[in-house]
Structure 1
Amino acid sequence: MSSMRRGFMKNWFAVEAIPIYVIIGGVMVGATWYLGRLALGPTVVWTKSNPTPWNTVKPEENSKLAAVNQKFEKRFARTVLRFLRMPYPCFSWSRDKL
C-alpha cells in the first residue's frame, strides 16, 4: 500500500500546485453557484404555465444579487421547481442577521 501511495505522490502530487488546485476549485464552485442562481431567477421562464414569473415578485422582495442603499423585508425565492416537481432549498437571509 505504501508503494502505491509513494507512486501517486511522486507522479501526481506537487506541493507547488496546491494553490492552483484551490483557485480552480473555488472558481468552479463559484461559477456553479452563479449559473444556478441565474437559472432560478425570477426573470427566467422554464414552463409555459407561468409565462410571466416576474409579476409574482412583491415590492418588498429583493431579487437582485446586491441591493445598494435599499432595505427589503425579504428576498425572492422559488420554493418548487415545477419542471422537476422537486423542492430546492431557499436561502432567504437579511443583512441584519449576518
Structure 2
Amino acid sequence: MSAKPSMRKQLMKNWFAVEAIPIYVIIGGVVVGASWYLKRLATGHSVVWSKNNPTPWNSIQQDQGTKMLEVNQKFDKSWTRDRL
C-alpha cells in the first residue's frame, strides 16, 4: 500500500509540473492549427466530395470557358460548379 502513493506522487510530479505547461500549450496550439488547416483544405472550392459525376471534364461543352482568365478566347457560356 505504501508504494501506491509514491507512484501517484511521482506521476503528479512529472506530468503536472509547472515547467511542462508551455509544452502542453504549444502542442495544443499545433493540434488545433493543424485541424483548422486540414478542414480548410478539405472544404475548399476545388474539392468535390460527391461521386455524382466522376468525370466532370466530359460534361463541358465546346463553347464553354473553364478558365478564370481567358486572354484571347471568347466563349458564349462560362463554366460554373453546381455542387459544393
TM norm structure 1: 0.43
Larger radius of gyration: 2
Higher relative contact order (CA 8 A, sep 6+): 2
When you count helix as a share of all residues, which structure comes out higher?
2
TM norm structure 2: 0.49
